[in-house]
Amino acid sequence: MVELRKIVVFAAVTFLFIYMLWINLKVLKNFGQKKLLSAFMISGFGLISVASFFDMISNLLNINIIHNVITTCFTAGAIVFGAYMILWSNHIVKIIFKLNKSANKDAMTGLYNRKGFEELFKRKSKTQKFFYIIVFDLDKTKMINDNFGHQKGDKYITDSATIIKEEIGKNGFIGRTGGDEFVAFLGNVSEKEVEKIIFYIKDRVTKIFKKEKTQISIGYAVYGRDGRDLGQLMRIADKRMYNDKKIKNDYKVYF
């Protein structure tokens, strides 16, 4: 006679097996599921399911070797499934890391978004005691979008982002804070070098679309001298950036 306890165990194992199959086939495949991972899961849980099935009907079978089969299947299944759990855990950690990384990145430019920039600022400001916060605002983005389409406008933004990233280099990091607005953290350089970097960025941006006379307005604040809070530093840098924009506009009006 089949024991109720063994029926319940077999039913539970079978349900879990089907559920894990569904997880692998329907969910994990969206995150780059690996065939090796599925093979370990199917083999391990399959052996455990076979063992629980034979254990359930063992009283009905008058075969001496059946208990050895059950023990072997349970043991092998547990080992293989244990290996699967290790691989699965590593895979999930990679997925979480990838999702966390993408959550802090701007999809269009590959730069940090505002959230990512703020988090990195918190970490960096604890170890670096002298650095600059630089804000950037592209000019004529609306004109380019309206007259030449958003595809050209997007190219203007992405090309500018590349220029800023290249000029800031390894001494800092950049975030995109708005449609055509950026912010950079820059350390380990003198103020004279900052001015030189700003000059090169402005010069290169003007060459993106020469006919449209593209340009960028830039302002910066110094950590310590102008403040220690990111919000305060950005407000001061913003004010200086708008002064830079105003000087260019006044120059155009004057001439």
Residues 22-79 pLDDT 10s: 777 766 566 555 677 778 888 888 888 888 888 888 777 766 778 888 889 889 988 9
Higher pLDDT, 250 or 5: 5
Q: Is the pLDDT of residue 159 over 60?
A: yes
Q: Which residues of 133-150 are buried (b: 16+ CB within 10 A; e: fewer)?
A: bbbbbbbbbeebbeeeee
Return the higher-pLDDT residue of 232 and 54. 232
Which CATH superfamily is 114-251 part of? Reverse transcriptase/Diguanylate cyclase domain (3.30.70.270)
Q: Where in the chain are the domains?
A: 4-103, 114-251
- Residue holding tokens 């290249």? 166
7 Cβ contact list (under 8 Å, min separation 6): 56
Residues 186 and 46: their CA atoms lie apart, in Å, by 56
In the chain, which residue ranges form alpha helices assigned H by DSSP? 4-22, 35-57, 66-103, 114-127, 141-148, 150-168, 191-206, 230-254
**Mean of per-residue pLDDT scores for the chain:** 87
User: How much is the pLDDT for 85?
Assistant: 84
